[in-house]
Amino acid sequence: MPAKSKAQQKAAGAALSAKRGETKPSELKGASHEMYDSMSERQLEEFASTKRKGKPEHVSGTKH
């Protein structure tokens, strides 16, 4: 599943970095911390590797 916004992509990148041991999980905050806890490394790779072109900075609204 691709990221829907640049912010979501950045959060996935931070969580992925922690999963790989490049940064400390204690440094994660907010969405990146939740992603670290709930997603696999493979899922995080998919989110973080999404192309940025045409993505909004943030997506608002609720899940459907």
Write out pLDDT tens, residues 1-59: 677 888 888 899 999 999 999 999 999 999 999 999 999 999 999 888 877 676 667 66
Model pTM score: 0.77
Confidence of residue 64 (pLDDT cuts 50, 70, 90): very low
Q: What pLDDT, on the 0 to 100 scale, is given for residue 52?
A: 67
Cα separation of 3 and 49, whole Å? Answer: 8
Q: Write the pLDDT tens digit of every residue in 7-23.
A: 888 899 999 999 999 99
Other Cβ atoms less than 10 A from the Cβ of 16: the count is 24
Cα separation of 6 and 58, whole Å? Answer: 7
Task: Give the tokens for residue 33.
Answer: 């911390």
Cα separation of 8 and 50, whole Å? Answer: 10
